């Protein structure tokens, strides 16, 4: 993945904001294999870069991909392992939308070889950039916070029952961040009454949260 495949703003604060599902573009060769429904990239985490625009002013580093999650899901394990065993979820190279619609035209879904190609071409360089930026910040600060920004429709019956709270925070059940960080967030959200919220509810964090969140290592 070339630098033009993602944007990285290098900040001066011990904070990196990653927005792995913000990308909306599709390489032409891949777009030619998609269904009309998929070409609308309905499962995009819409407007995250705009929402987190303030983070740059705070001195944060911000990493944003160019390509849609339908090319490769940057927040899935490289081996395609399930994040929530026993539940419906999309994979490294998803073949169905959240609504259960086919992403690819007949015969167009990526097999093992194409999936490996996309992992090397699109997935790995994003993670190299993320790791390198964390390493750069960690060399300057004793502790660094990695914040994953996402959005999703409040109702997605195929993925969960009912309606989600307004804010859904995940820390891999407390494993991916220091307890004091989670307590501070919980305290701040409990003090406001504009938005409903939950911590480690339906979403506990994807691959990036679980893999890079290492509080014992200062991240």
CB-count burial class (<10 Å; 0-12, 13-18, 19+) for 27: middle
Can you give the pLDDT at residue 1?
Answer: 46
Average the pLDDT over 58-63 and give the result.
Answer: 98
Supply the pLDDT for residue 170.
97
In percent, the amount of the chain with pLDDT more than 90 equals 91
Question: Euclidean distance between the first and final Cα of the chain, in Å?
Answer: 25
pLDDT for 102: 98
Query: Where exactly are the structural domains of the chain?
Result: 3-156+207-217
Average of per-residue pLDDT values in the chain: 96
d(CA 88, CA 79): 17
Domain 3-156+207-217: CATH superfamily is Zn-dependent exopeptidases (3.40.630.40)
Residues, the chain, total?
A: 219
**Percentage of residues in the chain with pLDDT exceeding 70?**
99
Q: Are 34 and 108 in contact (CB under 8 A)?
A: yes
Q: What CA–CA distance (Å, rounded) separates 1 from 156?
A: 31
pLDDT digits (tens, 9 = 90+) for 63-111: 999 999 999 999 999 999 989 888 888 899 999 999 999 999 999 999 9
118-168 pLDDT, tens digit each = 999 999 999 999 999 999 999 999 999 999 999 999 999 888 889 999 999
């Amino acid at each position: 993945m070339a630098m033009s495949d993602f944007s990285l703003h290098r900040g001066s604060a011990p904070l990196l904001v990653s927005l792995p599902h913000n990308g909306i573009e599709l390489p032409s060769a891949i777009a030619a294999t998609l269904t009309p429904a998929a070409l609308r990239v309905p499962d995009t985490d819409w407007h995250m870069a705009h929402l987190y625009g303030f983070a740059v002013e705070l001195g944060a580093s911000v990493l944003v991909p160019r390509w849609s999650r339908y090319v490769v899901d940057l927040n899935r394990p490289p081996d395609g392992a399930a994040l929530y065993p026993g539940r419906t979820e999309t994979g490294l190279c998803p073949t169905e939308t959240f609504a259960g619609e086919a992403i690819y035209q007949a015969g167009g879904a990526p097999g093992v070889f194409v999936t490996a190609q996309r992992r090397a071409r699109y997935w790995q360089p994003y993670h190299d950039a993320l790791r390198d930026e964390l390493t750069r910040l960690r060399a300057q600060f004793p502790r660094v916070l990695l914040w994953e920004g996402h959005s999703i429709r409040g109702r997605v019956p195929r993925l969960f029952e009912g309606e989600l709270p307004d804010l859904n925070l995940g820390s891999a059940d407390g494993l991916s961040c220091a307890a004091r960080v989670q307590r501070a967030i919980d305290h701040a959200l409990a003090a406001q009454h504009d938005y409903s919220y939950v911590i480690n509810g339906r979403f506990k964090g994807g691959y990036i949260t679980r893999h890079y969140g290492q509080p014992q290592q200062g991240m």
